[in-house]
Amino acid sequence: MKNLPWLLIAGLVPLAGTVLIAVLPRKFEFRARWIALASSLVTLGVVIAMATQFSVGGTQKFQFVTSYKWIPAFGVNFTLGVDGVGLVLVCLAACLVPFVLLASWRDVQPGGSVKSYFGLMLVLQTVVIWVFSALDVFLFYLLFEAMLIPAYLLIGRFGGAQRSYAATKFLLYSLFGGLVMLAALIGLYVASQTLLGSGTFDFQTLSSLQINSGLQNLLFLGFFLAFAIKAPLWPLHTWLPDAAAEATPGTAVLLVALMDKVGTFGMIRYCLQLFPDASRTFAFTISILAIISIIYGALVAIGQTDIMRLISYTSVSHFGFIILGIFAFTNQSQTGSVFYMVAHGFSTAALFLVAGMMIARGKSRNIADYSGVFKVAPLLAGFVLIAGLSGLALPGLASFPGEFLVLVGSYLRYPALAIIATVAIVLSAVYILWLYQRVATGSPRGVVVGTFGEIRRREVLALSSIVALMIGLGVYPQVLTRVIEPTVKTTITRVGAVELAPTQIKDQVDKQVSKK
């Protein structure tokens, strides 16, 4: 069973669903929803079966490796494989898409193409699964760029009034980052040719090269810029609020909960492991930018009047925590960052989807137009509260273990930055509780009066499934942390960061306390 090309199959199933949707006669277009849902459920089954075969702490760094010759003259292969970090993110992609499809059943407006909408979602799922498992750097780059096509079309064809502007801005930012990464990719190939005698794009070979520090710095910056735009990191974040606000709720989930994770995943997989010396050189500067993202995203979220833009800015803040943990170079912080990626995926999905359900009923994205939702639609208001509490990392929900590990691990490396990040958590409570108070409490008025109704069973199923996962991961985070930790330790070893022993940790904490 373990020798099956699991990752290849997991990506081909959604593509097969897309082909079936494409050949549907127009009069049967409504069946596209069911084909897409069935394809995503089969993909989830394949990924679950694969995950049960994963050997935690095994001798092989990457498992389920599948490799085919592609362009031998340039050392390019179609190679897929996952370590612990890649596995949990592939699982995230497989889990989220069925829930998104269920919640997005009526996203397409009359006159729109149901076939195109659901087909593009399946194509995006394929690309995301393979980008998290690519072991050829050239293949990763192609998939990294290929994500733009379905995402651009989903925003530009099915989004709101400003969809053309938002889609174009998203595309231009992403293309710029991709072009810079392409230049760095070419430089990396030339470096491998110089050091090995023949060029290669094989990740495992490249990660063992000893590239001189000056060249490392340049190549690191090329890759990092592309990943910082994708993540996004302040000040390269400005495309996200526009794109997520104008997209349909389902598209916003795929954009923020899945695609943006490719940025932080790329930092761990490529920036740290291919360019370890440069990673240490720029770590503190990047951590400062992460702190700015945390504070800036939270402050701007507090001032938003558009519910979709508010959620978008909260994600800018959350990605700051993830990036801070990555570049703190401790087992706790990096394990927390990867866990936070998964938790953020579920909590943000819940927020965007529940916001979309409110907007579908109230026909307004303006927070001030809502009041008293709890009295009219108590289930909907309950899901708003649970999703919000997960976003502010309430203990018992998925975001808490990740955020806690990030802060503890970051404190060991950058005490002052960790303290600032901890204080900034108060801001997240402000914007989440303010949002809930405005839309859910009080007497019904504005758009809530009249035809505003309770959520349907299909929507309840989608949201309750996500909530169940958030609670499960919050109560028993070990199901993921034990898979993530071995990969994190390997990454930190490659970077050359000194991991503090328990006695050293105690001594350092005591010193910080005595200084105060």
> What band does 510 get if pLDDT is binned at 50, 70 and 90?
very low
Instruction: Kindly state whether residue 232 falls inside one of the protein's structural domains.
Output: no
> What band does 505 get if pLDDT is binned at 50, 70 and 90?
very low
Instruction: Kindly state whether residue 458 falls inside one of the protein's structural domains.
Output: yes
pLDDT of residue 453: 83
Instruction: Kindly state whether residue 40 falls inside one of the protein's structural domains.
Output: no
109 or 310: which carries more pLDDT confidence? 310
Instruction: Kindly state whether residue 508 falls inside one of the protein's structural domains.
Output: yes
Geometric angle at alpha carbon 283, from 282 and 285, rounded to 5°: 70
* pLDDT tens readout for residues 216-269: 999 999 999 999 999 889 998 889 999 988 999 999 999 999 998 999 999 999
Instruction: Kindly state whether residue 135 falls inside one of the protein's structural domains.
Output: no
Determine the average pLDDT of the residues in 32-53. 94
pTM of the predicted model as reported, rounded to 2 decimal places: 0.89
Instruction: Kindly state whether residue 372 falls inside one of the protein's structural domains.
Output: yes
Q: How many CB atoms within 10 Å of residue 514?
A: 7
* pLDDT tens readout for residues 415-429: 999 999 988 888 888
Instruction: Kindly state whether residue 44 falls inside one of the protein's structural domains.
Output: no
CA 247 from centre of chain: 17
Which stretches within 303-377 are classed as H helix?
Answer: 307-326, 331-362, 373-376
Q: Is the pLDDT of residue 59 over 80?
A: no
Work out the mean pLDDT of the chain and round it to a whole number: 88
Spatial separation of the C-alpha atoms in residues 284 and 307, rounded to whole Å: 33
Q: Is the pLDDT of residue 55 over 80?
A: yes
Which position has the token pair 């735009």?
A: 229
Q: Is the pLDDT of residue 369 over 90?
A: no
- Percentage above 70 pLDDT, the chain: 96
* pLDDT tens readout for residues 263-310: 999 999 999 999 999 999 999 999 999 999 999 999 998 888 889 999
Q: Is the pLDDT of residue 29 over 70?
A: yes
* Contacts (Cβ under 8 Å, ≥6 apart) of 139: 70, 76, 77, 78, 79, 130, 201
Spatial separation of the C-alpha atoms in residues 261 and 124, rounded to whole Å: 14
> What's the structural domain count of the chain?
1
Instruction: Kindly state whether residue 349 falls inside one of the protein's structural domains.
Output: yes
Domain of residue 454, residue span? 282-516
